[in-house]
Amino acid sequence: MTAPALAADKPSGTITVWGWNIAAEALEHIVPAFNAEHPGVTVKVVNMGHSDLHDRVAADCAAGGTDMPDVTIVENQEAGLLWNRFPACFADMKPLGYDAYANKFPAFKQLDLQADGKVFAMPWDSGPVTVFYRRDLYKQAGIDPQAIATWDDFIAAGKKLSAATGGKVKMATIYKGTDDEWFRMLAVQNGCYYFSDDGRSITVARPGCAKALAKVKDVWDAGILNVGGWDEQIQFDKTGAAASQLYGGWYEGTIRSNDADQSGRWGVYPMPAFEAGGRRASNIGGSSLAIAATANKPAAWAFVSYALGTDAGQISMMKYRGLVPALLSAVDDPYVKQDQPFWGGQKVWADMLETLPRIVPYNATPYFTDARGVMKVVVNDYLDGRYKTADEALRVAADQIAGASGLPVAP
């Protein structure tokens, strides 16, 4: 599939693309293939840290947008804040041709990328939540991943693992005190989130979120989780101190690139459900590509629509750095259906991508950062026993988020 160009004339000129870490590497990787279709466009990819990129985009937009790159990565959960504060800084993709792609992506990936009838970014990596696990460590403890259907099964398996390893290996890892990712993954799985779908009220205190938070505490109280941030988590993987990681599908590339010597030892299985037969799908993280209002729009659109709107672009980046496509047609690509040697011959891409249609849409809103800051503290305090119930903890959280955002708490 060849992406449509913005205009009849062939795009030309130089465009600058900002990205971070493996995402920037993946964009650089597809430039030769893009140039085979668009030889008149020179693409310069600038790789910078996640926080640096976000801060520079915000600063450049605040200064009028004159120093913006033509194309930039935007993390979905941060998107609403940018569109709300700097709507004139980004190009509306509808006049560029986005309508031809609107039905090619799942609904949950598009909600954060639109505002006031405009589309400010095209979806990229989809972040479907999955359990990455060490086959050898599970086998050592006599754990069958196919028998883990519910969170209670997961807890029981974690206790079995701890007993078999003398407590040296934990079932998974949590960013306790520094993030609320476990809560968000289980809340979205349970059809709940910080905010309502229309972004006009706070819904974090509703029963679905309380059930999710209570289940996180069940897992925590079982003593089966290591505590650590990103760097610690990678070390847990390397040393075998954690037998699993509950994360977005984009973590595949992190494991494969950092633990190349463990080829064949890893596998994946769907996140456990709250009850037998329940939903085993959620989302965490994920990003998109936006075009600056000051961009060379024909060339920028040609690059974005090739990178994200074609199976060739998305599958190439998935192969190279494990970025899970949001493009629904990617699930039918022959590569997706292939056995993957690193993952013990499992068809991991098909297994992850098939969950996309079951992920419940949610709206991060411009107040995501405020809400996340509140929830980091509240979740940590609840896990430490400072609240008697999840309902009590989330009522406190909802009131604090209301104070920070000015939005009402939904009944």
Tell me if 381 is assigned to some domain. yes
Model confidence at 201: pLDDT above 70: yes
Tell me if 387 is assigned to some domain. yes
- On whether both 116 and 54 belong to a single domain, the answer is yes
* Confidence class for position 172, pLDDT limits 50, 70, 90: very high
Residue 23, domain CATH: 3.40.190.10
Q: Range of 298's domain?
A: 13-127+284-332
**pLDDT score, position 285:** 84
- On whether both 120 and 169 belong to a single domain, the answer is no
Model confidence at 9: pLDDT above 80: no
Model confidence at 7: pLDDT above 60: no
**pLDDT score, position 111:** 86
- On whether both 200 and 263 belong to a single domain, the answer is yes
- On whether both 169 and 261 belong to a single domain, the answer is yes
- On whether both 137 and 196 belong to a single domain, the answer is yes
The tally of domains found in the chain comes to 2
- On whether both 377 and 244 belong to a single domain, the answer is yes
Q: What's the CA gap between 216 and 381, in Å, rounded?
A: 13
pLDDT digits (tens, 9 = 90+) for 117-130: 999 999 998 889 99
Strand partners, 325: 125
pLDDT digits (tens, 9 = 90+) for 69-119: 999 999 988 899 999 999 999 999 999 999 999 999 988 889 889 999 999
Q: What is the mean pLDDT of the chain?
A: 94
pLDDT digits (tens, 9 = 90+) for 28-63: 999 999 999 999 999 999 999 888 999 999 999 999
- On whether both 257 and 393 belong to a single domain, the answer is yes
Indicate the pTM of the whole model.
0.88
Q: What's the CA gap between 367 and 199, in Å, rounded?
A: 9
- Name the token pair of 21: 């870490």
Model confidence at 250: pLDDT above 90: no
* Confidence class for position 331, pLDDT limits 50, 70, 90: confident
- Over range 326-331, report the average pLDDT: 89
**pLDDT score, position 322:** 86
Q: What's the CA gap between 255 and 237, in Å, rounded?
A: 8
Tell me if 393 is assigned to some domain. yes
**pLDDT score, position 275:** 97
Model confidence at 4: pLDDT above 70: no
- On whether both 311 and 381 belong to a single domain, the answer is no
- Name the token pair of 229: 């941030």
pLDDT digits (tens, 9 = 90+) for 386-410: 999 999 999 999 999 999 999 999 9
- On whether both 236 and 385 belong to a single domain, the answer is yes
In this structure, which amino acid lies at residue 248? Answer: G
Residues 379, 180 contacting (CB under 8 angstroms): yes
- On whether both 276 and 189 belong to a single domain, the answer is yes
- On whether both 105 and 190 belong to a single domain, the answer is no
Tell me if 275 is assigned to some domain. yes
**pLDDT score, position 2:** 41
